[in-house]
Structure 1
């Protein structure tokens, strides 16, 4: 053996032989196996999704005429059967696409051992449009109902607006941004609830492709008993010192809200808050706090207390002349005339704050003689005197006039200017006429109007006292 191994020629032959064997082994393994057409099968794969690459969704809106393809492939049965369908990939490269409409060929990748026969479609029409953004107010829709007898208040949304991003041609379709809150018999307010938003067109159809920022908002929906807003009136108890009179009364609110069932609320037309004038010791401005309680049969009230600003002033007097007398209530078929005083006017001495008295003129005062139920003849008729707020008659005056009632067909000729017909028409006045009062009240009433100076009308009684016990009547806010 050593003899052969030491033979140089033998070694050369052996090396050549080994090289030929190795070459043959490598080329036999790497040579493609010849397959007959009969050993291959074809397969159709439907709805292979088209995957987008290179798109800029923040800047552009893309629309295509196809979103999936049909592929027919060929390969060995084992390759076709055991390869999952998601191994077949089709992509659409949008990285170089420009705004407008273009036709872009599709790219694909197949599992090993599988060849493509056909792909439908081979290319896709793509429309690219610049995105636009617009803000819309957020609206809330409540589905369902609260507990029986309760009602929904106005929803509070935070934030109250949302931005919608769409292609410019689609953005013009957006009519509203809206969310829905489900209700199921709640008897208390819905708070801290997240509400998902969606964009809708004018016909109420959701626009699916809209990008909304934020996608959801926080919403609160008040759920309360039925309620009613009524004017706040100011009433009085106690009295001021003799040297003082009221000149202004101003509650901080003009109306209050009462909560309760509908039947209980129906009879509530106003609410009176009473202040104690006895707590005021000197001239100047005072602030009095009044606690408010729900009226009988109701459940709640808001606010539960109110501050009332009261201004007291030193009492002063002023006399006004030539105040006209108005006749009212003349029976049908009769005429009337004032015989005393013959000029059909009166003078009155009034008391109140000097700042209010200085503003008075005879047009602010109304003197009415009510002739209702009186027959023909002469009658002494007490006058009903309507005065501005916080003004009274001084010295217990009892103003009256003498009136003659007569038939126009009578031969009697009254000496004074007559007032004929069922009733004479008084001069226009900003103050209403109150009914005759049987006595005076020490302190006047007050009214307020949305925090303005209180100016109710007071009516003097026949005995000269000023009836000023009416309440303030502010307008509801």
Structure 2
């Protein structure tokens, strides 16, 4: 019995496999012709927007539809791009409404509109404004400060300093300037040049260019003492002579290390102005003139004494 049962499966195996495949093909073909409906979510594509107009606000970016057809047709649609195309050629400033129908559904290879039903939304509502262009200055947005021991040697530089914005007329009119993305100075210990993006809402307007080049010059801070600097007395040397006590002072300077490293006593001035004073003894707080890049300074003496008397330098020789 078992032998006969086994022989029934193994005899004429090729013919039996062919018959099985034919039966399966007929079954698939028959089931593929059965009618069905399928749900799709398709992107909304806006075309032919007038060059002088811009869309303001949000709008549906997808639509839900059902398509009827054979199961085979619906299977093919799964591998094709389906779009909801809205023609905006007739748009004018203000509100624009386009009711959606099967004619808005576009599928590569074609589709019978009678087999398509729009579920939602039933229409696309848009609001248009005139397109406007304006040039605005760029504001560098900086957060934090350079680490202790460092300083910005000069103000940050931006290139370009002015950019063009294009968008809805009302939004463009409100924009007086445009900021950059924040630049964090908290870890900056050396000078650099880099691009940084403009910080703006791309749904409101566009920026051209959309990034600028920022140059930051950083210097290490330092301290230096210049000893034995003789003060300079401002007076009428044709009528008077002046004596200074002490005759020299020390000047302690703090500032950019690059400036301090090349500094000499000839680059600073300690001034005592008695040009409008009669002969006498005066105790003055001097005026100190230092180069750019020096942040602070101090003198070894809080005040300096000047004695002015009649005579000339020649007469005292």
Q: Conserved in 2, the CA contact under 8 Å of 1:146 and 1:185?
A: yes
Structure 1 residue runs without a partner (length 5+): 1-34, 200-205, 229-233, 238-244, 248-269, 273-293, 309-359, 368-383, 386-432, 436-444, 451-455, 468-477
Identify if the C-alpha distance between structure 1 residues 163 and 227 changes in structure 2 by more than 3 Å, giving closer, same or farther: farther
Q: Tell me the distance in 2 between the aligned counterparts of 1:142 and 1:125.
A: 40
Identify if the C-alpha distance between structure 1 residues 85 and 173 changes in structure 2 by more than 3 Å, giving closer, same or farther: farther
| Counterpart residue number, 1:69 | 63
Q: Conserved in 1, the CA contact under 8 Å of 2:94 and 2:127?
A: yes
Identify the structure with the greater helix proportion: 2
Q: Conserved in 1, the CA contact under 8 Å of 2:278 and 2:308?
A: no
Displacement of 1:148 after TM fit? 3.9
Displacement of 1:118 after TM fit? 3.2
- Residue 283 (structure 2) aligned to one of 434, 450, 470: 434
Q: How does 1:438-453 map to 2 (within 5 A)?
A: none
Q: Is 1:135 equivalent to 2:135 in the alignment?
A: yes
Displacement of 1:135 after TM fit? 2.5
- Residue 92 (structure 2) aligned to one of 82, 98, 112: 98
SS at match of 2:73: helix
Displacement of 1:195 after TM fit? 1.0
Q: Conserved in 2, the CA contact under 8 Å of 1:134 and 1:164?
A: yes
Q: Is 1:45 equivalent to 2:3 in the alignment?
A: no
Aligned length: 236
Q: Is 1:60 equivalent to 2:53 in the alignment?
A: yes
Kindly provide the CA deviation profile for residues 439-472 of structure 1, in whole angstroms up to 9, marking residues without a partner as x.
Answer: xxxxxx999899xxxxx995226xx6789xxxxx
Structure 2 residue runs without a partner (length 5+): 1-29, 224-228, 240-248, 268-274, 292-303
Q: Conserved in 1, the CA contact under 8 Å of 2:150 and 2:219?
A: yes
Q: Tell me the distance in 1 between the aligned counterparts of 2:160 and 2:192.
A: 16
Q: Conserved in 2, the CA contact under 8 Å of 1:92 and 1:104?
A: yes
Displacement of 1:81 after TM fit? 2.4
| Counterpart residue number, 1:88 | 82
CA radius of gyration, larger in: 1
SS at match of 1:170: helix
Kindly provide the CA deviation profile for residues 391-426 of structure 1, in whole angstroms up to 9, marking residues without a partner as x.
Answer: xxxxxxxxxxxxxxxxxxxxxxxxxxxxxxxxxxxx
Displacement of 1:164 after TM fit? 1.8
Identify if the C-alpha distance between structure 1 residues 104 and 227 changes in structure 2 by more than 3 Å, giving closer, same or farther: farther
Q: Tell me the distance in 2 between the aligned counterparts of 1:446 and 1:466.
A: 25
| Counterpart residue number, 1:8 | none
SS at match of 1:169: helix
Q: Is 1:165 equivalent to 2:123 in the alignment?
A: no
Q: How does 1:465-476 map to 2 (within 5 A)?
A: none
- Residue 105 (structure 2) aligned to one of 94, 103, 108: 108
Q: Is 1:187 equivalent to 2:189 in the alignment?
A: yes
Kindly provide the CA deviation profile for residues 275-333 of structure 1, in whole angstroms up to 9, marking residues without a partner as x.
Answer: xxxxxxxxxxxxxxxxxxx959984426747989xxxxxxxxxxxxxxxxxxxxxxxxx
| Counterpart residue number, 1:211 | 206
Identify if the C-alpha distance between structure 1 residues 86 and 224 changes in structure 2 by more than 3 Å, giving closer, same or farther: farther
| Counterpart residue number, 1:365 | 277
TM-score computed with the length of structure 2 as normaliser: 0.58
Identify if the C-alpha distance between structure 1 residues 89 and 60 changes in structure 2 by more than 3 Å, giving closer, same or farther: same
| Counterpart residue number, 2:26 | none
Displacement of 1:126 after TM fit? 2.3
| Counterpart residue number, 1:156 | 157
Q: Tell me the distance in 1 between the aligned counterparts of 2:36 and 2:122.
A: 22
Q: Tell me the distance in 1 between the aligned counterparts of 2:125 and 2:254.
A: 75
SS at match of 2:141: strand
Q: Conserved in 1, the CA contact under 8 Å of 2:43 and 2:82?
A: no
